[in-house]
Amino acid sequence: MALQMFRRSVSVIRHSVRALSRLTITPPTQPVALDKFSLLKCGSCRNFHVSVKRPDLMEFFDSKDNWGEENIKTGRPWKMEELRIKSNSDLHKLWYVLLKERNMLLTMRHEYRQECILFPNPERIDKVEESMENLMNIIKERDNAHSLLETGKSVEREKVEALDSFGRPYMKRQTEHALPQRNIAGKRMFLLTRDPWMRKSQRLLREKYLKTRHRERKRELRYIRRTRERFPDATEEDIEHGLERESARQKQGFYDV
């Protein structure tokens, strides 16, 4: 016990002597008058910066110069060839720019519908969504190439046919299971085929699916016929693009006012 106390006393004295040896006598200095820009000249504050304050929600709305305009000039969407030459950081920044633009356009479209006014240039939303889709495809290509280089396998998992709880086949991506998936699917299929109520429900579901597909096909043929009558010079690509827009609007359940 006495030896430990002696060692602690020696260490304290050693540190005290070392601290006293570092002290130097400096002459008194005069106080320096600091101007308002003196703090910005120091090296520690040179890299300090702040972003623009946005206390309101005006970023969700278009510029006031475009309010009430019937036609707004916009550019074309980003192509995949242009996005391939950009770095990952540039793609990350561009994604958030497109995301803010899409949120702004959706907000403006909602406001125009609330006021029962025609939304100018609704194809702007399609252009932004097409750009975001192309950007995501580029990211998937890079991830897939990196995975093939490192592991020799693709990032995306393969899709296989499976059965849901009602015995309907659907495509899903492969996942890990504690038991082999074929045994589970075979047992489920055996139980579904033995149940008469399940066989009747499958027949009715298939009838509903065929009627729905028939209505969609008739709608597509009617759209193609009307487009050919109004625009005889329309190409196949224009018609396919129009069908995609019509199907998207049909899923939403409403059209632009």
* Dihedral angle of Cα 177, 179, 182, 188, to the nearest 10 degrees: -100
Tokens 């006495």 locate to 2
Q: Is the pLDDT of residue 9 over 70?
A: no
Query: What is the C-alpha to C-alpha distance for residues 137 and 143, in angstroms, rounded to an integer?
Result: 10
| Residue 82 identity (one-letter amino acid) | E
For residue 74, the 8-state DSSP code is -
Tokens 């994604």 locate to 95
pTM of the predicted model as reported, rounded to 2 decimal places: 0.48
For position 32, what pLDDT does the model report? 43
- The whole-angstrom distance between residue 8's C-alpha and the CA centroid of its chain comes to 61
Dihedral sign for Cα 184, 187, 190, 196, please. negative
Query: What is the C-alpha to C-alpha distance for residues 125 and 98, in angstroms, rounded to an integer?
Result: 10
The domain locations on the chain are: 55-156, 195-247
pLDDT digits (tens, 9 = 90+) for 177-187: 776 656 555 55
Band of residue 231 on the pLDDT scale cut at 50, 70, 90 = confident
